[in-house]
Every structure is written in C-alpha cells, then in structure tokens.
Amino acid sequence: MSTASETFEARLSRHHDELRWLYMELYNNGSMFAELIDTIRTYALARSGALQKSDASREQNPSWYKGNNLLGMMLYIDNFAGSMQGVRQKLDYIENCGVNYIHLMPFLDTTPGKSDGGYAVKDFRTVRPDLGTMEDLVSLTSACHDKGINVCMDFVMNHTSEDHEWARRARAGEGEYMSRYFFYDTFDEPALYEQTVPQVFPTTAPGNFTWLEDCHRYVMTSFYPYQWDLNYRNPRVFNEMMYNFLYLANCGIDIIRIDAVPYIWKELGTQCRNLKQVHTIVRMMRMIAEIVCPGILLLGEVVMEPEKVVPYFGTVDKPECHMLYNVTTMASTWNTVATRDTELLRSQLAAVFALPRQYVFLNYLRCHDDIGWGLDYGMLARRGITERAHKQYLNDYFQGCAGWSNSRGELYNADPVTGDARFCATTASLCGLEAAVNSGDEAAIDDAIRYDVMLHAYMFMQSGIPVLYSGDEIGQLNDYSYHNDPQKADDSRYIHRGRMDWDKAARAEVPGTVEQRLFTQLRHLEHIRRTEGAYCSDADAQVLDIEDPSVLGIQRSYQGETICGLFNFSEYDKTICVPYTGVDLVTGESDGAGDHIIPAHGFRLLKRTEQ
Ligand code: GLC
C-alpha cells in the first residue's frame, strides 16, 4: 500500500505540467506556484484516514455519483434544526426522506444584517457561532458519512464580507490587502465598468461599486455593497482561496458548490461574466481537488443561459465542474405551469438530453434563490410573444392575478426601468396549495397536491441528480413573516426561506393529511427512481412527440428497459395514446397500449413490457 505522501506525488505528477502551465499563464509567478504546491501537499497529508479511504474508492469508481441513487436536499441549518448539532439529531428524518446528499446552506461566519443569507463570508474557517463550531461540522459530516449521506457546502469565491479580515485591513489602507480587492480613488474607471457590466440586484443593490466614506475610495461590489469582489489577478488571492477550499474539504465536505463562479474574473470593456480566465481558475481548482481530495465533487453555480452553462463542464480531457444546475429547465418548467404550453420546455429538454452523458445536471424545482425568467425568448418571438409582456404575464400569473391561477408568491428585484422582475415562492404555494388551504376548498387542495407530486415526478425523470428544497416534501407554504424583520424585509427571497415546521412534518405520519399525502407519494417516486435502472444518468432520454401541447412526454431507455412519463400541465384531463403495453410504475398494474387518461395536473409512469 502506498503512503499518503506517495499517493499525493502520484496524483500531482498526473496534473503538474498542466497546472503549472495554466498558473504561469495567469500569474507568471514561479515562487507563488511553488508555495501553492508545498501548501496543498500539507492539506493532502492532513486529510483524515476515513477521507483518504473514500478518496481512493471514489477514484477507482469516478462515476460514483452518476447512477440513480443520489437524492439531494438543500436546507438552512438554523431553519431546519437550529444548529449543526440539531441537524445531526435530525439525520433520521433526512434518511426517512430518502435523501443521501444534503446541501447545508451557508453556515460560515457572517455579519447579521449584512449577510446575504450567509453569502457574505467573514471567515472561511469559522462556523457562525449560533450554528456551532468547526468541530461540530466535522462531527456532522462524519455522522452523515456513517449513514451514507454526502454533504455539500457553498464556497463563496467571488467576494468576502466587508468584515472579513482582508477587507478590514484593506479599508485601513494596508496595500497588501487593498490589492486583494478592486479599489479606486475616483469614479473614472468604475464608470467605464458600469457601461458594460449588468447589475445583479438592480433594485436591492444597484450598481457594481460602493463608495466608502471612511477611506474615500470606491470598491467593487457586484452583489450587495457589503460583499467586496475579490481580485483574482492577484495570485495571493487565488492561493489563499484554494487553501480555504482545501481546509473545508478536509472537514469532510463531499460537494463544493462554487458560488457565483461566472463572476470571478473582471476585465474592463466586458460584462465581467464567464471570461476565459474563469475557466482557467476552475480548471486549476479541479486539478487541485483531484490531487488533494479526489473524492470531492465540484458543483458550479452558473445561473445563465444554456450556452454559457455547458462550458463549465470543461472537456473530456480537461474537465472543470462535475455538476451544474439545470437552471433553464427549471425556469422553463414554471413557464409551462403558467402557460400550459410545453413547447419551450420540450425544446429545452431535448437540448439537454442531446448533451454528452458524462455531463451531470442538478435538477430542481425550487431553491433558496428567486426564479429568474431566463427563457428562450427567440423561440417565443417567433410566436409573436415579446419578452417584457411575457415576463409580466408570468409574474402576474404566479401572484395569482392572471390566467386562472391559484399561485401565490412575490416579485423579486422588480426593476421599474426595464420592467424586469424575478419571482419567489415555495413549490407548494406556486402549485396552488396555499390558496386552496386558505379557502378550505378540498377539491383545490387535491388538485394542488396532484400538481406538486406531478412536478416532482417529472423532475425526477430528467437526467441527473434531483435536489429537493427542504420543506417541499411536506408542502411548506410561503412564509410572510420576513416582512416584519428589518434585516430581511427588503429581500423577498426570505418568503421561501421559512423555518421548518416540525408539527407539519409530524403530520406526514398521519393518514389523510396534506403532508402525509405529499410525503408518501414523493417517497414512492423516489423508490421508483432508485429501483428502475432507466433513471440513471447514462440512460438514453428523449422527449416524446405528443400532439397535445399541454402534455409532456419523456422516455428513458437503458440496457433494454424503457420507461415513459406523461405529465399533464393542464387543468383538464387529457387522453393520450401510448404505443406500447406496460406496467404502471405507481400502481403496479398492467396497462395495454392505446388511449390513457392523464388526469388534470397528473401524470403516468409506464414501464414497457412488450412492443
Ligand atoms: C449566489 C447565491 C445567492 C447569493 C449570490 C451572492 O447566486 O445563490 O443567494 O445572493 O450568490 O453570493
């Protein structure tokens, strides 16, 4: 057996030349490169025995995450269970949900009221004190590993909090630290940037720079004014951030979500998004991970149109991220909910299904962020639909005031100038459960549950890894209490970041309750997904040609087995002709070829038994 040191050298030798080449191309600094290698060696040797073992076994089986057995859930530690120790006590619940991958939303130290939900990190090596300690993190990850649960965390690379030590020292005028950010004495250069760089938060944090009254300088802040963009032209920033990454990896993290990755390189005269240096940095990070902690997966957060997303997978020879979010599919799904027209979604799914199978997407209905209406407006334009009017319709629909809608939710960053707005709400409220429960309308409640389950069944049928948003398994509704919290009131994303309602969760055990009906149906779907091989990432997936535009058909085939899913986005029952005899995967009953009724907002999952 080779020692940790031999293993490190062997892994390093596989990547050394390319890593050095890219590093020198970006920084032309041999001594900083030497420091990088020496330091990552210490992280490799400091990895625990258990993590080294898992690295070795995952290295042997690099497709370990591509099957049909991973199910994720994203959760806020405080909302879910108060603290890291609390989450540890709730691992049975997580297991009971069929979940074996949890994304712990940002938990590193941050300044209350200036935290952007934890995405303004004050210290990359300290857990937010009210959530626990680094030791708690290590014991939580190891308890998760004992249960076969993978742990994901955010690595916020683009910026630090203004209260991070580097920022404080920069603010005090220490040149060494100022060079880790973008500082300007006058607005001349920022003004040039503003000509080409779009705004992330046009209403809640307009512009890309912040004036610092105390030091009489501007600093670049693409997100909130207290999130200072890091300057990756400085190799010290790159090296230190890689050390932070490895430090966290050594706490037992399995999946690192690289937050806001497209933004990390800035160049005057550009949009400062997706520049080629970003890819160089991600590629270097991937190699560093493969050298030090090959059991880790990199998940890129690229909330952009499909042409911008896919390059973050890199190439077969030079991979970058292991996984990316299927963001356009998510937005197109909600577009279909509002329009009952699957055309856009079909074309989006067909495009994703045509991509190489080694590309693994994370599929989701809702997450902690808003839904941005990033749709194929070229396609809509060909049907005479304009972008602005369509976004207006979608936002009206989901607020429940257009198009026979039962949805409830709120706008996010409504920009009066462009007319643009994004949207926030929980899955259940979007599906009409909130309105139905409030009006006590049993038929509407049934319909909302059916819709919610159908959307999950469809999401599970996409290629990749499904991720649930905590609370969705029991149909948590929008939480309007953030309106009364001055630290949150401006950010409507808090509407879907409510506390986990454990009384509601307990009702998942009580037959006939809304929670039980949702929970058990989702569990059943998870079971089907896990037991049917055609759900794996390697399966061939296709969009079926169905005449009725409100019904989506997906077929997956793998090793001679074929399953087909029919999903009805309309409020009417639909009759669809199925070409083969099969067995209904939900009821277990045999079904002949021919006409099948798909109930309003319902679905059928069929496994072909003969031609
Ligand atoms: C990511 C996060 C979002 C946050 C932003 C800034 O997009 O998902 O919640 O506001 O990064 O860090």
Residue 202 tokens read as: 């046009």
Q: Which residues of 106-136 are buried (b: 16+ CB within 10 A; e: fewer)?
A: bbbbbeeebbbbbbbbbbbeebbeebbeeeb
Q: Which amino acid is at 475?
A: G
Q: 260 alpha carbon to ligand 1 midpoint, in Å?
A: 6
Considering the entire predicted model, what is its pTM? 0.96
pLDDT in tens, 516-549: 999 999 999 999 999 999 999 899 999 999 999 9
- Ligand 1 atom having least distance to the Cα of 120: 12
Tell me what pLDDT residue 610 has: 74
144 neighbors 87 (Cβ within 8 angstroms): no
Residue 480: which pLDDT band, with cuts at 50, 70 and 90? very high
Question: Tokens 């839904």 appear where?
Answer: 371
328 neighbors 364 (Cβ within 8 angstroms): no
- Closest of 205, 203, 210, 196 to residue 223, by C-alpha: 205
Nearest CA to ligand 1 atom 9: 369
Percent of the chain with pLDDT over 90: 94
Tell me what pLDDT residue 305 has: 87
574 neighbors 581 (Cβ within 8 angstroms): no
Long-range contacts of 56-62 (CB under 8 A, 24+ apart): 56/7, 57/295, 58/294, 58/295, 59/294, 59/295
340 neighbors 383 (Cβ within 8 angstroms): no
DSSP letter at 478 equals: P
- Closest of 74, 81, 121, 70 to residue 368, by C-alpha: 74
What value, to the nearest 5°, has the Cα angle with vertex 44 and ends 39 and 45? Answer: 100
Residue 443 tokens read as: 């038929």
Tell me what pLDDT residue 323 has: 98
Nearest CA to ligand 1 atom 3: 369
Residue 79 tokens read as: 């909302």
> CA 542 to CA 286: how far, in whole Å?
31
Tell me what pLDDT residue 365 has: 98
594 neighbors 577 (Cβ within 8 angstroms): yes
Quick one: average pLDDT of 497-514?
97
Quick one: average pLDDT of 181-204?
95
pLDDT in tens, 581-611: 999 999 999 988 889 999 999 999 999 997 5
To which H or E segment does residue 4 belong? Answer: helix 4-27
Residue 16 tokens read as: 């050394």
> CA 456 to CA 521: how far, in whole Å?
10
**Ligand 1 pocket, CB under 6 A:** 116-117, 119, 156, 223, 259-260, 301, 368-369
CA atoms within 13 A on the CB side of 366: 28
> CA 129 to CA 107: how far, in whole Å?
9
pLDDT in tens, 131-186: 999 999 999 999 999 999 999 999 999 999 999 999 999 999 999 999 999 999 99
Q: Dmax of the chain from CA atoms? A: 76
CA distances from 326 to 140, 301, 341 (A): 28, 10, 20
pLDDT at 1 over 80: no
Candidate from 1-5, 111-115, 150-154 with smallest mean pLDDT: 1-5
pLDDT in tens, 409-461: 999 999 888 878 999 999 999 999 999 999 999 999 999 999 999 999 999 99
Nearest CA to ligand 1 atom 6: 119
Which pairing describes strands 209-212 and 217-220: parallel, antiparallel, or unpaired? Answer: antiparallel
Candidate from 199-203, 350-354, 485-489 with smallest mean pLDDT: 199-203
Question: In Å, how far from its chain's centre is CA 494?
Answer: 17
Give the residues across from 598 on adjacent strands. Answer: 574
Percent of the chain with pLDDT over 70: 100
Q: 362 alpha carbon to ligand 1 midpoint, in Å?
A: 17
Tell me what pLDDT residue 611 has: 59
Mean pLDDT, all residues of the chain:
96
- Ligand 1 atom having least distance to the Cα of 223: 6
Q: Which DSSP string corresponds to 256-306?
A: EEEETGGGS---TTS-SSS-HHHHHHHHHHHHHHHHH-TT-EEEE---S-H
Q: Which amino acid is at 596?
A: H
Q: 395 alpha carbon to ligand 1 midpoint, in Å?
A: 21
Give the residues across from 151 on adjacent strands. Answer: 102
Active site residues: 259, 301
- In this structure, what are the phi and psi dihedrals at residue 200, rounded to the nearest 5 degrees? -80, -45
Which pairing describes strands 561-568 and 603-610: parallel, antiparallel, or unpaired? Answer: antiparallel
Quick one: average pLDDT of 105-110?
98
Residue 237 tokens read as: 């920033």
- Closest of 388, 329, 318 to residue 355, by C-alpha: 329
Question: Tokens 């550009």 appear where?
Answer: 270
Nearest CA to ligand 1 atom 11: 260
Q: 259 alpha carbon to ligand 1 midpoint, in Å?
A: 7
φ/ψ region of 276 (left if φ > 0, alpha if ψ in -120 to 50, else beta) reads alpha
CA torsion sign for 161, 165, 168, 169 is negative
Q: Which DSSP string corresponds to 194-232?
A: HHHPPPSBTTTB-SSEEEETTTTEEEE-SSSTTEEEP-T
Residue 469: which pLDDT band, with cuts at 50, 70 and 90? very high
Residue 558: which pLDDT band, with cuts at 50, 70 and 90? very high
> CA 26 to CA 280: how far, in whole Å?
8
